[in-house]
Structure 1
Amino acid sequence: MPVSASPFVVSSIVTTLRAAGCVFAEDEAELILSAAADHTDLARMVERRASGLPLEHVLGWAEFGGLRIAVDPGVFVPRRRTEFLVRQAAALAGHGAVVVDLCCGSGALGAALAAGLDRIELHAADVDPAAVRCARRNVGETGLVHQGDLFEPLPVDLCGRVEILLANVPYVPTQEVELLPAEARIHEPRVALDGGRDGLDVLRRVCARAPRWLAPGGHLLVETSERQAARAEETVARSGLIPRVVTSDELCATVVVATRPGPAGSVARRTGPADPIG
């Protein structure tokens, strides 16, 4: 039940948030009011947000793909632009597809994909214990979440069977991490942001092993920046996968979709337009 607040209290919250640099102070105030258990909780939430804590960490959830994804403090907040990657995956995944979500963070990608399709066999993995705990809450009974570095914790019987490999790897160059907004730089794990010298280090590691895990005709999908797209495409191609770059002007999103060569007819189980996710 949302906390009932007088116009004066609401105005005071908006003023506090605006003074802290919150661009959408009115919208944030409404969300905080709807989430607060009581006036003591409300004051605590406003104080935490004004101190610079990401709104999603204050609320305890982020909206992604039409779902409320639980996001604990210290866990990477899923970005709305990444919904575009999920939509691309939905267009390629068949009924009962074997899906792996690497660098899963909160598990948002796998959870959203599972919610948008009839049935998939979902496995997710992350090296961060806090992210794994969070992902297990979000994935629930729709899949299994494993803790470890990239492919290491996955069941070996997935080798050669993965039809959709989601890898939302960190791609911010190391020297640019300090230029990120404070919400990300201070409150999100560096391992989820820092992609190495040129931002492609983790992608290279994924590509080096992806062909072994993908089924013939299976797809690797990774998000990158517009200016990194060409180098990311080259990185993928060197692994023997066939890449293509797709973009969304609406979400300012760039995704590399890479396919493991396979028998004719196995490149994509579905070739229609992307399913609406959210």
Structure 2
Amino acid sequence: MQAIADSCGADILHIKGAAVDASLLPTRPEAPADASAEERALPRLSADADILVRPEHLKRFQAALRRHGWQRKTRLYSGGAVEHSEDWSHPELGGADVHIRFPGIRVTPERAFAALWSERQSRDIAGRPCPAPSVDAQRLLLLLHAARNGGPASADVGPPWTNATTAIQGRVRMLAVAFGADVALAGATGRLDEFAHRPEYDLWRLLGQPDADVFDLWVAFVKAAPTALDRVRAILYSIHPKSDRVDHQVGHPANAAEVLRAQASRLGRGALGVIRLARRGATAR
């Protein structure tokens, strides 16, 4: 990924996986006390490479990926808060998740990338220097990821937050406020109820629940959208299945009938959700 970015002049940041600083990884229980952070750390396994690309450089990076044999499996249909990355794969090299934004960050993708880039550090990955966010920014990104995958119960919360000093936690909180990610951070650190008045509250409450109702999540995505245009995009995303998503579900290029069935299924779930929502409203009254 870095070689391709260098070849086309695209700015990218490596996030999660191999890019994570050793101080943020779980430690080996048998590691000696005088071992370095790298020697104590357990490797962070990842199924793909996670890349955050400068939004202005996305098209040139996509074109370079294609030139080097990568194929796009899913695409960004909007710049809204719902979709945040594209899946790419290579027949020999595996997969890559190319992010245009990171879930939980509410400032514009351009502003977020510029801020992360300004504090970047270099990490050697596969013998090549690769830009990565600062350690504090890595803490925040890991915690935002944890907020979508179990909340405070996620194993990703311990090293970047629970084991951090009060001063470090304070820096991460300040960073979250600057990125508009304070509600998402609270979802990972057990403070979500402090933000019950915020429009993002329901979204992060539900994302922390493995059995959350799909319709409730759709409503929460719409409610949490930062702009009116993003709300429209979130509604359209909820009711209209994308062909490449259906391809992934059925395991082959979907035909018209399969796309229509997926559409009918989504509309049916939406109708049932509206009925449940109306019944809850009637009961509350």
TM-score normalised per structure 2: 0.28
Name the one with the larger helix percent.
2
| Bigger fraction of residues in strand | 1
Q: Which has the higher contact order (CA 8 A, sep 6+)?
A: 1
TM-score, normalisation: structure 1? 0.29
